[in-house]
Structure 1
Amino acid sequence: MQVFNEAPSGLQVAPHEPRILAAGYQIGVREVSFGQVHDKPSLMLALMSGLAITGTFGHNWDALYDVLTDPERLPDRLALLLCSYTQFRSHHPHLSLDLETALLDAQREAAAQGRQLWLLTEEADADPDAW
């Protein structure tokens, strides 16, 4: 099943070549790399970089939610590609739980606004034939 054929639903495994597939569906892609994240400050910096947040950002979960649900900041159809997320989640379970709460709340609010926010996990060393 092609992930972009369905409405976004929680965290989903990214398909092979997600950027190319998203382009075919006219879906914007933003990539957040978790490879160098080891605490909340480095997580917020990774999110700022991946989401291209400029200006003021509160470096907290509410600020992240606000960015992800603001139709002026992000496209109506967006895939947030979470790179190396499984490893991050296993090393930082409490931090990933807080992050997932903010992401899933934002996904639900985006849907209520008539927008789509896919949350896709991608592992750098994953075997593409396994998808």
Structure 2
Amino acid sequence: MINVFNAPPEGIQTAPHDMRIIAAGYQVSVREVDLTRVRDKDSLMLALLRGLALTQTFGHNWDALFDVLTDPEARPARFALVLCDYDHFRKRHAKLCAELEAVLLDAQRSATEAGRQLWVLAEEPEGQLRRW
């Protein structure tokens, strides 16, 4: 598998095996968001709050998520957001997933324009390789 950190971030990519070790070698900070228990937008926002280690002042909306992902004070210049159980989440919550993807990809473009890097990585079960 090609190492995603060798190239600029582009869309939602498959997380590499041994991701934390590889990310450390490329000086990429990593945070994981567990989507396993997401039922609706509220539980998604709580999963993001936990995964991104946000404070209770997080606005629990798409604009707030965009802001924390693109804020140079809140995120390192080289940052990877790993979406755990992403494929199942996509299948269970297609509309919610589409909204999340739109925000994540907008944040990725904005980060790139600001000279920063935001990888959005989907953690897949063993043996599945996929690119969105």
Amino acid in structure 1 at the alignment position of 2:47: A
| Partner-residue secondary structure (3-state), 1:31 | strand
TM-score with structure 2 length normalisation? 0.93
Asked if residue 28 in structure 1 is aligned to residue 10 in structure 2, the reply is no
Residue 64 of structure 2 is matched in structure 1 by 63
Matched to 2:91, the amino acid is: S
After TM superposition, the structure 1 = structure 2 runs for residues 90-109 of structure 1, keeping only pairs within 5 Å, are: 90-109=91-110
User: Could you tell me which residue of structure 2 aligns to residue 87 of structure 1?
Assistant: 88
2:114 maps to amino acid: Q
The runs of 4+ residues in structure 1 deviating greater than 4 Å are none
SS at match of 1:95: helix
- Rounded to whole Å, the distance in 2 between the matches of 1:60 and 1:11 is 20
Letter in 2 for 1:100: E
Distance 1:57 1:15 in 2: 29
Partner of 1:9: 10
Q: Deviations over 1:60-101 (max 9, x none)?
A: 100000000000001000010110011001000000000000
Report percent identity of matched pairs: 60
Aligned partner letter, 1:26: Q
Instruction: Please give the TM-score of this superposition, normalised by the length of structure 1.
Output: 0.94
The root-mean-square deviation of aligned C-alpha atoms, in Å, is 1.1
Separation of aligned partners in 2, 1:50 and 1:97: 19
**Whole-Å Cα distance in 1 between the matches of residues 71 and 54 of structure 2?**
12
List alignment gaps of at least 5 residues for structure 2. Answer: none
SS of equivalent to 2:16: coil
CA–CA separation in structure 2 for the residues paired with 1:37 and 1:77? 27
The match for 1:122 is 123
Shift of 1:55: 4.0
